[in-house]
Chains A and B, each alone.
Chain A
Amino acid sequence: MSAPRTPAAAQTPLAPLPRREEVAEAARGQGLGLLAALPYHYPRALVRAHGFHAMEVWAPPSTPADSGARHFQAYACPIVVKGAAFLLDGGFGRVDAVLVPHGCDALQGLGSVLRDFVDGRPPVLTLYPPRGRRAVDARYLRAEFARLGDDLGALSGRRPNADDWAAAFAAEDAADAALARLYAHRGRLAISDREFYEVVRAREYLLPDQFIEAVAALPPGTPRRGGVGIVLSGIVADPLELLDVLHEAGAHVAADDLGSGSRRLLPAPASTAAPADPIGRCVEAFLAGPPDPTRGDPIAARAEHLLALVRTSGSRGVLVLDPTFCEPEQFYLPGLRAALGAEDIPLLFVEHESSGTLDARLRGRVEAFVETLTTQGVAS
């Protein structure tokens, strides 16, 4: 039996977010170059300080995969195949450079193939984040960020001075703070889960000011959601239709552990003053992020983090939503399932093809999962 809930679709829609074309135009108006950034960890302030605005590419659902499939086998993840297709089918022509962070072996392949085998494209930059958080990793990351800054600076002609860094941190810190506020206040906003994640994901392409404005425009009030709470984990909340299915089945997302979501919530800086060591600050923030499979964190650290999310949000289960063939995510599943199971917290893993819609089988599994959680809640 489902818990009472407010219909998601019955409310006034939110003001539309700026379209990507408008954002690109606005960024160029500010003298910024456009950087197509693949998922999902990179130092935004460093990118901005060197004269670029990052607009992210996450397997655009409306993009046909054909162009990407001409370079990658069928067992490559849709973020790689569709990301490549998007860039090859016109995306390259709209940006000044591409950044491929090394989040996994598949993104490694994407970065390497674009650099080595695709002609007539803008520069493709790479970033290799360390798979650890040791002192030795921090020293390396400092040098890697400095190298990325040099590469960006060589393209934009900008060598940031102290004022440039201060302005970049001020802008990106404010947007990060807005994202953190959005998460902190999610239970006090009169929006649905779908609307919530539309705004969260707008951080992937909006200019910092635009994002802050979008967050500020959200109406306070009782959330338009109900039913049992779940933690949504995985790489990306895609398709957003899943959130409607959850709502209709009688559940809501009480917290998330998403690559496109809270895994990118970094601790707020201790001081808002301009840092004397800007790259050092980027490193510090980067390494302070929550446990994350793409960083190779230990299973126990991830399990503890998920358990903490479940407890603090009052959730009854964890739904892991991933694109197909996502190795970093899949390796953790048995360990996470065992750790959560020991606390009687069920975990459901579902894969999707990034086609923009949810197939009936997947919908059925999600509905059954919610029903189980609801029944458990009644029984207990």
Chain B
Amino acid sequence: MSRRVPLPFPRVHPALPDHVDVPGLDDVLGALPRSASEVVPKARSALAYDVVGRSVLRVQRLRDERRMATAAPRPDSPMNPPLRTLAGVKELMSGHYLKGRYAPGARPVAWVTSGAPIEALVALGFFLVYPENHAALCGSRRMSGELCQAAEEEGYGKDLCSYVRTDLGSIATGRTPVGTLPPPDLLVCCTNICQTVKYWYEILAAHFDVPLVTIDTPFLYDEVAPYQVAYVRDQIRTELVPAAEKTAGRRLRPRALHDTLVEAKQACELWCAVLDRSRHHPAPLTAFDGFLLMGPVVNMRGRRETNDYYRRVLSELDGRVAAGTGAIRDERHRVLWDNLPVWYRLSALSRRLAALGINVVASNYTYAWGELAPLIDPDDPWESMAMTYLHPILNRSTGHKLAAMREMIDGFGVDGVILHSDRSCKPYSLGQIDQRDLIVDRVGVPALLLEADHNDPRVWSEEQNVGRIEAFAEMMAAAG
């Protein structure tokens, strides 16, 4: 990987005026080329994505849906037929990455962390790349092992986050399942999921030689304090927005921000509604479906097509609930999943658990993109964004996470908990030993600490983990 020498110390951004509302002709005509150099990329993007790509992906989706609808059920499978709307994720996500391929020159590109406040960027017309999502995609396509290895050959330690290693390996080798990733014009990292992202994005900033905006979110050991909200709010207003405006070459219109927040809030609400359907018995979807369905709310929050999509998913889930159709055929045990998924074992693990009559009905990980919807207030954008982005589960105490898990155990009628002890995600994993013990002792629900890693398959021990899962199923059966 080639490295450029980055700027030595924090970059100075121009101060933001108190009132960011300077609509100009370029805002109105934002979709059109604003210079001769933009004409070709914009035209190419429009042709490749809007005209050809979308149509092709739509046809593929319809074909997939038809095939899923007409396929004969497999008698040997412990699962019921998959949700047909899963084909829509493929359409949306493929479209997203296809659009990204033609973004350079046509629109500004920002690489952002999964917990970053993206609404201002969306309102400014940025194309967003989520390296975490890309890494997860590499994991589910079984590419992450070799990419982690490639990053390690670059000198990155095997104890570092496997998302980071996967993406740095992808940059080093040029290998990606999405064809190509558009290089960033701007990097935005928010520490509300971990400190790891700060280091990761410093590496990206040095490599790509582009500005990095850090939104630092104090970890909430207790309830949030006003000065912590002010800190995050001020960073969004005086660091992120000016840098994004400078990169985009246009001013942020309050109306555009408002509208984006409206869509984002709705996306989060719809996403929560999707996940909440698993409160039904039998649950019409598994957490593993949730891991796949979450792509749009993570990557395309604030866009109308995302909300339209989740409405279609809800409609299908409601049909399943009305028909009493569960995601798995014989739902004997309902389980809560804690932490990130094991991306490279997603379907195998799902089938293995289903074969034991275990439906993983909920995950606190997937809820992270929905549960904060009530905090989003489009009429009070700065304060509400600060509140929203301070409160992800990963930025809150181990005690809060336990309380949230207890609520989910009750709310979803769960009779077991799997805590994925994720070797390379310390903020999610440290605290799990106490959480497991307290779930077992005080809630009276069996809980399993499953040792793995979210994206590094070399850490997975099939024999050991399968044995532990089978023993766990026996414990749940014994507990009645």
A residues sitting closer than 8 Å to B (CB atoms) are 70-73, 75-76, 80, 102, 104-106, 108-113, 115-117, 126, 128, 130-134, 136-137, 139-140, 143-144, 147, 293, 296-301, 304, 324-325, 327-328, 330-335, 337-339
Q: Which residue on A lies nearest to B430, using beta carbons?
A: A109
Taking CB atoms, residues of chain A closer than 8 Å to B423 are 73, 75
Q: Given the known A-B contacts A73-B430, A106-B430, A134-B10, are A334 and B156 also in contact in the complex, defined by CB atoms under 8 Å? A: yes
Any chain A CB within 8 A of the CB of B398? yes
CB <8 Å contact, A109 and B235: no
Check B429 for interface membership: any CB of A closer than 8 A: yes
The residue that A112 contacts in the complex, of B155, B191, B227, B397, with Cβ under 8 A, is B397
**Contact residues of B between 198 and 217, Cβ < 8 Å to A:** 198-200, 202-203, 205-206, 214, 216
Q: State whether B399 touches A115 (Cβ < 8 A).
A: yes
- Out of B156, B159, B205, B221, which one reaches A325, CB within 8 Å? B159
Question: Can you name 5 A-B pairs with beta carbons within 8 Å?
Answer: A144-B218, A147-B225, A296-B198, A297-B9, A300-B5
B205 — which chain A residues lie within 8 A by C-beta? 298
Q: Given the interface contacts A112-B431, A131-B198, A299-B202, does A139 sit within 8 Å of B397 by beta carbon?
A: no
Residues of A with C-beta under 8 A to B9: 133, 297-298, 301
7 shortest interchain CB distances as A-B pairs: A109-B430, A116-B399, A334-B155, A331-B199, A143-B227, A140-B231, A117-B434
Across-interface contacts of B398 in A (CB, < 8 A): 109, 112-113, 116-117
When chains A and B are docked, how far (Å) is the Cα of A325 from the Cα of B214? Answer: 24
Question: Residue of A at shortest CB range from B424?
Answer: A75
> Does more than half of chain A's interface fall in helix, strand or loop, or is it mixed?
helix
- A154 to B230, alpha carbons, bound, how many Å? 24
Q: Among A80, A112, A298, which residue has its beta carbon within 8 angstroms of that of B6?
A: A298
Given known contacts A109-B427, A331-B196, A334-B155, what 11 new A-B pairs fall within 8 Å (CB)? Answer: A73-B423, A73-B429, A109-B430, A112-B398, A116-B398, A132-B214, A136-B234, A136-B235, A293-B199, A300-B206, A301-B9
Q: Across the interface, do A116 and B431 meet the contact criterion of CB distance under 8 Å?
A: yes
Residues of chain A within 8 A (CB-CB) of B230 are: 139-140, 143
B8–A301 CB distance below 8 A: yes
CB of B291 within 8 Å of the partner chain: no
Asked, given contacts A75-B159, A134-B10, A330-B156, whether A338 binds B3 with beta carbons under 8 Å apart, the answer is: yes
Contacts of B262 in A (CB 8 A): none
Query: By the criterion CB–CB under 8 Å, are A116 and B397 in contact?
Result: yes
* B433 on the A face (CB < 8 A): yes
- For the complex, give the distance between the alpha carbons of A339 and B4 in Å: 10
- A300 touching B421, Cβ below 8 Å: no
Chain A residue, CB-CB nearest to B205: A298
Chain B: residues with Cβ within 8 Å of the partner, total of 55
When chains A and B are docked, how far (Å) is the Cα of A143 from the Cα of B227?
A: 7
- Does residue B194 face the partner (Cβ distance < 8 Å to A)? yes
In Å, the complex CA distance between A359 and B160 comes to 23
Q: Residues of A contacting B203 with CB < 8 Å?
A: 299, 331, 334-335
Contact between chains at A105 and B231 (CB < 8 Å): no
Contact of A296 among B155, B161, B202, B221 (CB under 8 A): B202
Judge whether B470 is part of the interface by a CB distance below 8 angstroms.
Answer: no
Question: Which residues on the B side are within 8 Å of A330 (C-beta)?
Answer: 156-157, 159-160
Known contacts A105-B427, A111-B221, A337-B155; decide if A72 and B433 are in contact (CB<8 Å).
yes
- A-side contacts of B430, CB under 8 Å: 72-73, 76, 80, 105-106, 108-110, 112-113
Chain B 69-82, CB-CB to A under 8 Å as 1, else 0, gives 00000000000000
In the complex, the chain B residue whose C-beta lies closest to that of A334 is B155
Cβ distance A149 to chain B, nearest Cβ, rounded Å: 13
Q: Which residues of B contact A70 (CB under 8 A)?
A: 433
Q: Which residue of A lies closest to B396 (CB)?
A: A112
B8 touches A300 (CB 8 A): yes
Given A128-B219, A334-B155, A335-B203, residue A76 in contact with residue B426 (CB < 8 A)? yes
Question: If A143-B227, A296-B199 touch, does A136 touch B399 (CB 8 Å cutoff)?
Answer: no
Q: A115-B397, A126-B221, A130-B216 are in contact. Are A105 and B227 (CB under 8 A)?
A: no
A180 vs B430: C-alpha distance when bound (angstroms): 37
Chain A contacts for B196, CB-based, 8 A: 105, 327, 331
A345 to chain B, nearest CB (A): 15
Complex-state Cα separation, A338 to B5, whole angstroms: 10
On whether the beta carbons of B434 and A116 are closer than 8 Å, the reply is yes
**B 284-296 binary contact with A (CB < 8 Å = 1; else 0):** 0000000000000
Whether the pair B431, A113 counts as a contact (CB closer than 8 A) is yes
Q: Give bound CA distance, A374 to B467, whole Å.
A: 53
With the chains together, A296 CA to B195 CA distance in Å? 8
- Which B residues touch A73, using CB under 8 A? 421, 423, 429-430, 432-433
